[in-house]
């Protein structure tokens, strides 16, 4: 479960951004909506512990994130969270499977070859396992980014504009796959978006008010 209460965040020298209170239950899917600059990315980063020093409360998987030390937060994030960023941030020097192996490799964890095959197959890109990420389509690259985010079966999947660069067919495939893999792992799925097309798939919405 995620619970946000009285949350505000202030970037250096900027006006504070205030967020509405909300609860997202384990396994629930939710959209973060709001105009450009309303704070959607900031909120995702707060929920994922990428930004600290906030006011108010962010409880994720029963942990108040501000109470965790930097190293405990790193470990918590590595175990519980899966991130999908707007730009997929794949490493272009590595092929598809090596992009999936990078995080466990850096964390000194086991590389689970079976899980890689399972996730790539689930997302319909097993044939691209050894392809260069520069030689796959944008929709396929977004699926690799999803694969990377769900490899470790996180409890919470946070996605920032995962479909905005995709055509209608890829958008539908990506959002459906994202929802299905979240469901398979009973993960909460939180998607920040402008993309009107996604509103048809996820009914729970948190709406951020514009900041002036």
The residues, any chain, with a CB within 8 Å of residue 91's CB and separated by 6 or more, are 98, 99, 102, 133
The tokens for 121 are: 């197959």
CA distances from 47 to 10, 65, 154, 176 (A): 15, 8, 14, 23
Dmax over CA atoms of the chain, in Å, equals: 49
Residue of 7, 42, 95, 147 interacting with ligand ATP (CB under 6 A): 42
* Region binding ligand ATP by CB under 6 A among candidate stretches 32-40, 59-67, 120-128, 150-158: 32-40
Contact between 151 and 100 (Cβ < 8 Å): yes
Residue of 38, 88, 142, 163 interacting with ligand ATP (CB under 6 A): 38
**Position 40 contacts ligand ATP (CB under 6 A):** yes
**Position 163 contacts ligand ATP (CB under 6 A):** no
Min dist. Cβ of residue 190 to ligand ATP (A): 13
- Among 23, 27, 25, 29, which residue's Cα sits nearest to residue 176? 29
**Position 185 contacts ligand ATP (CB under 6 A):** no
Min dist. Cβ of residue 13 to ligand ATP (A): 8
Residues in touch with ligand ATP (CB under 6 A): 11, 14, 17, 34, 36-42, 194, 211
């Amino acid at each position: 479960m995620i619970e946000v209460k009285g949350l505000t965040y202030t970037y250096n020298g900027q006006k504070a951004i205030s967020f509405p209170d909300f609860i997202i239950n384990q396994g629930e899917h939710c959209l973060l909506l709001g105009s450009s600059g309303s704070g959607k990315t900031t909120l995702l980063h707060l929920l994922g512990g990428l930004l600290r020093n906030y006011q108010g409360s962010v409880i994720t998987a029963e942990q108040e994130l501000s109470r965790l030390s930097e190293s405990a937060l790193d470990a918590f994030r590595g175990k519980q969270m899966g991130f999908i960023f707007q730009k997929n941030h794949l490493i272009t020097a590595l092929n598809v499977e090596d992009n999936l192996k990078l995080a466990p490799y850096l964390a000194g964890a086991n590389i689970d070859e079976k899980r890689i095959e399972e996730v790539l197959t689930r997302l319909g890109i097993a044939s691209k396992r050894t392809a260069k990420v520069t030689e796959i389509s944008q929709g396929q690259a977004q699926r690799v980014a999803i694969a990377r985010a769900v490899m470790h079966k996180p409890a919470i999947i946070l996605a920032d504009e995962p479909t905005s660069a995709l055509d209608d067919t890829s958008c539908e495939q990506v959002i459906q796959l994202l929802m299905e893999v979240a469901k398979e792992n009973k993960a909460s799925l939180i998607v920040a978006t402008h993309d009107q097309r996604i509103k048809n798939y996820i009914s729970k919405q948190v709406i951020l008010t514009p900041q002036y």
